[in-house]
């Protein structure tokens, strides 16, 4: 079957034939309907992070279960699923405490080593091991994932667009609802209006935040956020974003989300906070990058800086709930999709994302 394989940042990603083994115990095989192209894929492509390569790219996807391995109970052949990139073990300290997005074996072994729970991969080619990316690898015709990474969706919704639920939307909405717990009436700033940032904006709208200030370098993107629930738009290319947000809120916001993950944007998020404010780091910087803040201000003003991984999501609960919100017209997904392309266009889709030309491209293997 065809898949998009990353080997080295020196050359374009390769669309090639890869062998896929059948699912083993606790695993399911999924035929991919669509895969979203997310900024994390771009970080991988650009060599920003240490990953186990070669790997099959992609970590946002939806599809249909085509086979299940022994012992699988939560999904069956024919089920429609959204893939989760933290396939929680269900047994570690964090899973038992109700934080599956912090699952320790997933974070310490599966994701960094690019393997499944038995320490091996299902992808290979001519005897060469090809790794999984975040246990999803959705830039492929078919994948094998752990059972906990395939969340059944029983609602009658278009399957391709639901791919977005599996990373960008769960991350953005979850950062607001689960990580930060934004209360009604709060003043919120969101830096970055890409797929994740616009999902943070939607999460803030769903939380009935009083003020939702969208910040983006591109004035068009900042304005676009109004359609997703922003009350104000700040074009950071033209003005000092921190000063603009502080002016709009009479001294700073209650919550500032950095949906970009650059050093400047993380520092801006902290600087935008009012007394008691919380800065939430959602976007992911390159490995080793460090930001600065003033500890005195943090202590005197009782501010907090927190990280949000995958929106602290609980996939088995949150994915179906997000689909219900979409069907009720309360969550915009179609508006986040800027185009659909075949797997062969993966490199072009990544370059469009890098250049700010695409919001969310869906790779559709059947195209």
Q: Which residues are catalytic?
A: 38, 40, 43, 59, 167
Q: Would you count residue 38 as binding Zn ion (CB under 5 A)?
A: yes
Q: Would you count residue 88 as binding Zn ion (CB under 5 A)?
A: yes
Q: Which is nearer to Zn ion, 88 or 177 (CB)?
A: 88
How many of the other CB atoms lie within 10 Å of CB of 115? Answer: 18
What's the closest the beta carbon of residue 134 comes to Zn ion, in angstroms? 8
Q: Which is nearer to Zn ion, 87 or 274 (CB)?
A: 87
Smallest CA-to-CA distance from 123 within 170, 185, 58, 176 is with 58
What's the closest the beta carbon of residue 106 comes to Zn ion, in angstroms? 6
- E strands present in 285-359: 304-307, 337-341
Check residue 356 and give left, alpha or beta (phi > 0: left; psi -120 to 50: alpha).
left
Residues 91-150, interacting with Zn ion (CB under 5 A): 92, 95, 103
What's the closest the beta carbon of residue 366 comes to Zn ion, in angstroms? 22
User: Do 245 and 234 contact (CB within 8 A), yes or no?
Assistant: yes
Among 13, 55, 89, 173, binds Zn ion (CB under 5 A): 89
Q: What tokens does 353 get?
A: 């994302």
Site string for Zn ion, 158-197 (x = CB under 5 A): ---------x------------------------------
Q: Which residues sit opposite 129 in a β-bridge? A: 124
Which residue is associated with the tokens 């943090």? 298
Alpha carbons 200 and 45: distance in angstroms, whole number: 25
What's the closest the beta carbon of residue 148 comes to Zn ion, in angstroms? 9
Alpha carbons 34 and 162: distance in angstroms, whole number: 8
Q: Tell me the number of residues near Zn ion by CB under 5 A.
A: 8
**Site residues for Zn ion per CB under 5 A:** 38, 40, 88-89, 92, 95, 103, 167
């Amino acid at each position: 079957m065809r898949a998009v394989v990353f080997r080295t940042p020196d050359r374009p990603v390769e669309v090639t034939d890869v062998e896929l083994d059948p699912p083993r115990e606790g695993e399911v095989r999924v035929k991919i309907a669509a895969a979203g192209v997310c900024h994390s894929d771009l970080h991988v492509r650009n060599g920003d992070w240490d990953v186990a390569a070669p790997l099959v790219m992609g970590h946002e996807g939806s599809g249909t279960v085509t086979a299940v391995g022994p012992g699988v109970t939560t999904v069956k052949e024919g089920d429609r699923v959204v893939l989760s990139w933290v396939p929680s073990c269900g047994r570690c300290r964090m899973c038992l405490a109700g934080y599956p997005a912090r699952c320790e074996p997933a974070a310490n072994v599966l994701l960094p080593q690019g393997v499944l729970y038995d320490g091996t991969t299902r992808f290979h080619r001519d005897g060469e091991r090809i790794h999984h990316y975040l246990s999803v690898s959705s830039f492929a015709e078919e994948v094998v994932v752990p059972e906990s990474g395939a969340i059944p969706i029983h609602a009658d919704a278009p399957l391709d667009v639901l791919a977005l639920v599996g990373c960008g939307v769960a991350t953005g909405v979850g950062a607001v609802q689960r990580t930060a717990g934004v209360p009604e009436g709060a003043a919120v700033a969101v830096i970055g209006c890409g797929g994740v940032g616009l999902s943070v904006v939607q999460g803030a709208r769903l939380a009935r935040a009083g003020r939702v200030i969208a910040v983006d370098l591109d004035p068009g993107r900042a304005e676009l956020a109004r359609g997703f629930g922003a009350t104000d738009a700040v074009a950071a290319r033209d003005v000092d974003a921190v000063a603009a947000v502080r002016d709009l809120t009479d001294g700073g916001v209650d919550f500032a989300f950095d949906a970009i993950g650059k050093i400047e944007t993380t520092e801006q998020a902290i600087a935008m906070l009012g007394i008691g404010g919380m800065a939430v780091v959602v976007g992911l910087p390159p490995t080793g990058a460090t930001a600065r803040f003033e500890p005195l201000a943090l202590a005197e003003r009782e501010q907090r800086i927190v990280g949000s991984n995958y929106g602290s999501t609980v996939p088995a609960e949150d994915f179906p709930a997000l689909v219900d919100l979409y069907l009720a017209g309360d969550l915009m997904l179609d508006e986040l999709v800027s185009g659909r392309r075949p797997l062969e266009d993966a490199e072009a889709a990544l370059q469009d994302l890098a250049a700010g030309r695409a919001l969310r491209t869906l790779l559709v293997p059947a195209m």
